[in-house]
């Protein structure tokens, strides 16, 4: 029962350890790959914003160049239309050619048309008070223009769905001296927010690539997590087996006699108490045999302690080979051994004791120098009925077995005696 208790406790400890390690690995790998994905996403979004700012800056510089010359005149060829919102936009040269003025607003709109035809991006110049109805703001632009008046430096957002997904950006246009040529009558002053330029470009492919990247990152996360957990579980299993084997050896060292491999005296009495409680619970008999190897001191004196150890191991092997799985055989001390027989009455215990005595006497122990040795044993038997066990303790039963052993030794050794008065087996 103690071993089972240890095993259950160990399993709980290892299960808790595995869960904790798995959780740590999961959180570590998840944070690593989530950070990688979010970092990549931020880089892409930062790149989109940089593109929008770059387009805005380019058109502003182009407008500023145009405005610095008070507008640019182009020859009025077929398809070139005069700006209806300018006063006297056309001039005629002495050779009869007609040139029309392209102010910054008209130039911006025409560049936007070219960019839209190219399919890359669009510009739109707008304000809350546009001269040209075509420059009226949409909802995004109106919201951005109102934000500019509150001091917001720029506004950007993603709009649309599917293939129409777009990145939109807008920044304000500030009134400069060159702007007053056309817009002084609208009440603007230098430094005012006159309007803004919005930039839009498609991002459906970019977001598609980002989704694919997310799927790849998720697959790598699963693969990495599975690999790491597999490696960790492999090493944990190896470690748990090594520790279990070490624990088994430690428990065995605590339970077993180092020389004979039988249980030691301490563990024997633990088993004795368990078997005694079991016998009382189920109303069963219980027997005990105490064994002493005859004249063992002479073996040590005549042949040496190594031979003595060989004799002890030899007898231990006889016990181990001729007892039941339910029996408990132990080295009691020195050359004494003890055997616990559950569910065994006195007749059965006496039969087992005589069997062990006869086997001990009949077998030959071969020594290293080619000689051989015979040994004998004296055995004391005690058995308790279910009724007796209700008032009898383990140490009392052992004491009675010791008294029976004393009689066997006193009557000439190499025999079996029981606790019963006048009952003993003597070898002729």
Could you report the per-residue pLDDT of 95-130, keeping only the tens digit for each? 889 999 888 878 887 888 787 777 778 888 888 878
Within a domain: residue 72? Answer: no
Residue 310 located in a structural domain: yes
Nearest alpha carbon to residue 388 among 289, 301, 297, 287? 287
- Note the pLDDT of residue 428: 37
Q: Which domain holds residue 292?
A: 265-425
Has residue 298 been placed in a domain?
yes
- d(CA 62, CA 344) in angstroms, rounded, equals 111
**336-342/72-75 β-pairing:** unpaired
Which residues have a Cβ under 8 Å from the Cβ of 184 and sit 6 or more positions away?
none
Nearest to 292 by CA among 340, 359, 256, 338: 338
In-domain check, residue 292: yes
Count of domains observed in the chain = 1
What predicted TM-score, i.e. pTM, was given to this entire model? 0.52
Strand partners for 73: 101
Residue 335 domain-assigned (yes or no): yes
Token reading at 287: 């027997």
Backbone Cα Rg of the chain: 52
Q: pLDDT tens digits, residue range 119-165? A: 778 888 888 878 778 788 999 999 999 998 888 999 999 998 888 89
Whether 382 maps to a domain, the answer reads: yes
pLDDT at residue 309 is higher than 70: yes
In a domain, 241, yes or no: no
Q: How sure is the predictor about 189, in pLDDT bands with cuts at 50, 70 and 90? A: low
Position 423 scores a pLDDT of 46
CATH number at residue 398: 3.30.70.270
* Average pLDDT, rounded, for the chain: 85
Max avg pLDDT among 57-61, 81-85, 273-277: 273-277
**Is residue 252 scored above 90 in pLDDT?**
no
Please report which confidence band the pLDDT of residue 422 belongs to, taking 50, 70 and 90 as the band edges: very low
Residue 334's pLDDT band, with cuts at 50, 70 and 90, is very high
How does 80-93 read in b/e, with b if 16+ C-beta sit within 10 Å? eeebeebeebeeee
Question: Does residue 275 contact residue 284 with C-beta atoms inside 8 Å?
Answer: no
Banded model confidence at residue 251, pLDDT cuts 50, 70, 90: confident
Whether residue 254 is contained in a domain is answered as no
């Amino acid at each position: 029962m103690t071993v089972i208790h240890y095993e259950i406790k160990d399993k709980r400890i290892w299960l808790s350890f595995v869960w904790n390690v798995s959780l740590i690995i999961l959180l570590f790998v998840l944070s690593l790959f989530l950070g990688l994905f979010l970092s990549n996403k931020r880089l892409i979004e930062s790149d989109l914003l940089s593109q929008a700012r770059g387009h805005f800056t380019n058109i502003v510089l182009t407008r500023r160049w145009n405005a610095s010359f008070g507008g640019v005149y182009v020859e009025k060829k077929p398809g070139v239309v005069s700006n209806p919102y300018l006063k006297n936009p056309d001039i005629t040269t002495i050779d009869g050619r007609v040139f029309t003025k392209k102010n910054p607003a008209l130039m911006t709109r025409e560049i936007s048309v070219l960019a839209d035809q190219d399919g890359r991006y669009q510009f739109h110049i707008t304000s809350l008070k546009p001269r040209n109805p075509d420059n009226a703001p949409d909802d995004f632009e109106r919201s951005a223009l109102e934000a500019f008046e509150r001091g917001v430096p720029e506004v950007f957002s993603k709009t649309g769905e599917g293939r129409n997904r777009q990145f939109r950006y807008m920044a304000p246009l500030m009134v400069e001296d060159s702007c007053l040529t056309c817009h002084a009558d609208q009440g603007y002053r230098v430094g005012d927010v006159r309007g803004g330029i919005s930039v839009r470009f498609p991002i459906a492919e970019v977001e598609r690539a980002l989704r694919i990247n997310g799927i790849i990152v998720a697959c790598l996360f699963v693969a990495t997590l599975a690999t790491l957990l597999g490696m960790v579980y492999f090493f944990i299993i190896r470690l748990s087996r090594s520790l279990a084997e070490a624990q088994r050896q430690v428990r065995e060292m605590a339970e077993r006699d180092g020389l004979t491999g039988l249980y030691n005296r301490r563990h024997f009495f633990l088993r004795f108490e368990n078997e005694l409680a079991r016998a009382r619970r189920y109303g069963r008999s219980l027997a005990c045999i105490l064994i002493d190897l005859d004249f063992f001191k002479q073996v040590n004196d005549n042949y040496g302690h190594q031979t003595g150890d060989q004799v002890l191991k030899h007898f231990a092997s006889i016990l181990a080979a001729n007892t039941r799985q339910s029996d408990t055989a132990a080295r009691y001390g020195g050359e004494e051994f003890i055997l616990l027989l559950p569910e065994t009455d006195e007749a059965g215990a006496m039969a087992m004791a005589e069997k062990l005595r006869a086997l001990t006497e009949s077998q030959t122990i071969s020594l290293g120098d080619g000689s051989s040795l015979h040994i004998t044993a004296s055995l004391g038997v005690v058995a308790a009925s279910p009724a007796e066990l209700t008032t009898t303790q383990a140490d009392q039963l052992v004491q009675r077995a010791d008294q029976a052993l004393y009689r066997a030794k006193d009557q000439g050794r190499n025999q079996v005696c029981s606790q019963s008065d006048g009952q003993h087996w003597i070898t002729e």
